[in-house]
């Protein structure tokens, strides 16, 4: 039900933007500024959304909640769009990426800092991650490791 409500809200928001830009704003310059400003706010929100995962990484001192490739390609994409916007003098295009590029770099730095650590338990104790456990039991042919890597039928 929450998903349906969110989808309805998104469709209504896009419809309202289309109606306002079509029927209220009659010249191209104002339409472009209106839709560009809304896109700018949405892009900044998109680049700011990993802050929750970054907070969790700092609190748990583990990167299990932050996918590396998502952070890497978010940084690369925002850096390229920032460069494109700055070279083409498109401030509306460059400005959200001026926020996204440093946030992506911060995610990568956090990943480098906490990548070798295990998972932190609820009481603050360090629990060995599953990957480290698998590496330490590489020679052991236990049933647990066979079950973990059993191909789906």
SS (H, E, C) 71-96: HHHHHHHHHHHHHHHHHCCCHHHHHH
Percentage of the chain with pLDDT > 90?
24
Within a domain: residue 124?
Answer: no
Among 6-15, 65-74, 110-119, the least confident range = 110-119
| Three-class DSSP category at 116 | coil
Domain tally, the chain: 1
Between these two residues, 110 and 145, which has the higher pLDDT value? 110
Domain of residue 84, CATH code = 1.20.1280.290
Within a domain: residue 152?
Answer: no
Domain that holds residue 24: 2-116
The model's pLDDT over 83-128, given as tens digits with 9 standing for 90+, comes to 999 998 888 888 889 989 999 999 999 999 888 765 555 555 554 4
Distance between CA atoms of residues 87 and 111, nearest Å? 30
Within a domain: residue 95?
Answer: yes
Distance between CA atoms of residues 21 and 73, nearest Å? 32
Within a domain: residue 74?
Answer: yes
- The structure's pTM equals 0.62
């Amino acid at each position: 039900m929450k998903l349906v409500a969110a989808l309805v809200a998104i469709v209504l928001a896009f419809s309202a933007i289309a109606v306002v830009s079509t029927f209220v704003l009659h010249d191209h310059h104002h339409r472009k500024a209106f839709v560009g400003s809304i896109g700018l706010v949405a892009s900044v929100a998109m680049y700011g959304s990993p802050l929750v995962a970054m907070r969790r990484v700092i609190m748990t001192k583990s990167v299990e909640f932050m996918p590396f490739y998502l952070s890497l390609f978010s940084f690369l994409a925002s850096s390229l769009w920032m460069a494109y916007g700055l070279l083409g003098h498109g401030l509306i295009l460059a400005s959200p990426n001026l926020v996204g590029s440093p946030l992506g770099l911060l995610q990568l730095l956090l990943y480098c800092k906490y990548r070798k650590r295990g998972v932190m338990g609820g009481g603050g104790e360090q629990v060995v991650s599953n990957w480290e456990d698998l590496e330490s039991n590489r020679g052991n042919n236990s049933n647990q490791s066979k079950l973990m890597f059993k191909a789906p039928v």
